[in-house]
Amino acid sequence: MPFRWNPDLTHNDVTPEKRFKERRSLMQGAIVLGAGAVLDLEPTELFADTPALSNIRQGVVTLDEPQTPFEDASNYTNFYELGSGKSDPTANAQRLQTTPWHVVIDGEVNRPGRLTLEDLLKPHPLEERVYRMRCVEAWSMVIPWIGFPLGELLKRFEPTSKARFVAFETLQDPANLPGQKLPILEWPYREGLRLDEALNPLTILAVGMYGRTLPNQNGAPLRLVVPWKYGFKSIKSIVRITLLADQPVTSWNLHAPKEYGFYANVNPEVNHPRWDQSRERRIGEFLRRKTLPFNGYGEQVAHLYADMDLIRWF
- 3-state DSSP assignment of residue 98: coil
Can you give the length of the chain in residues? 314
> Nearest approach, Cβ of 189 to ligand MTE (angstroms)?
4
- Residues 5, 26: Cα–Cα separation, whole Å: 31
Nearer to ligand MTE, 85 or 123 (CB): 85
- Cβ-based burial of 289 (10 A; exposed 0-12, middle 13-18, buried ≥19): exposed
> Nearest approach, Cβ of 266 to ligand MTE (angstroms)?
12
User: Within 10 Å of residue 121's Cβ, how many Cβ atoms?
Assistant: 23
- What's CA 290's distance to the chain center, in Å? 22
Nearer to ligand MTE, 121 or 135 (CB): 135
> Nearest approach, Cβ of 168 to ligand MTE (angstroms)?
9
> Nearest approach, Cβ of 96 to ligand MTE (angstroms)?
10
Site residues, ligand MTE (CB under 6 A) = 77-81, 135, 170, 189, 218-219, 231-232, 234-237
Sequence letter at residue 295: N
Nearer to ligand MTE, 213 or 218 (CB): 218
> Nearest approach, Cβ of 252 to ligand MTE (angstroms)?
7
Strand intervals (E) in the chain:
57-58, 102-107, 113-116, 127-134, 139-149, 165-170, 190-194, 204-209, 212-213, 223-225, 238-244, 279-282, 289-290
Nearer to ligand MTE, 137 or 196 (CB): 137
Nearer to ligand MTE, 167 or 235 (CB): 235
> Nearest approach, Cβ of 136 to ligand MTE (angstroms)?
7
- Exposure string (b/e) for 71-96, b if CB count within 10 Å is 16 or more? bebbbbbbbbbbbeeeebbbbbbbbb
Q: Looking at 204-255, list the stretches that DSSP marks H as alpha helix, in order from N- to C-terminal side.
A: 251-255
- Residues 177, 89: Cα–Cα separation, whole Å: 10
Nearer to ligand MTE, 260 or 305 (CB): 260
Nearer to ligand MTE, 231 or 248 (CB): 231
Residue nearest to ligand MTE (CB): 231
> Nearest approach, Cβ of 229 to ligand MTE (angstroms)?
10
Strand partners, 116: 102
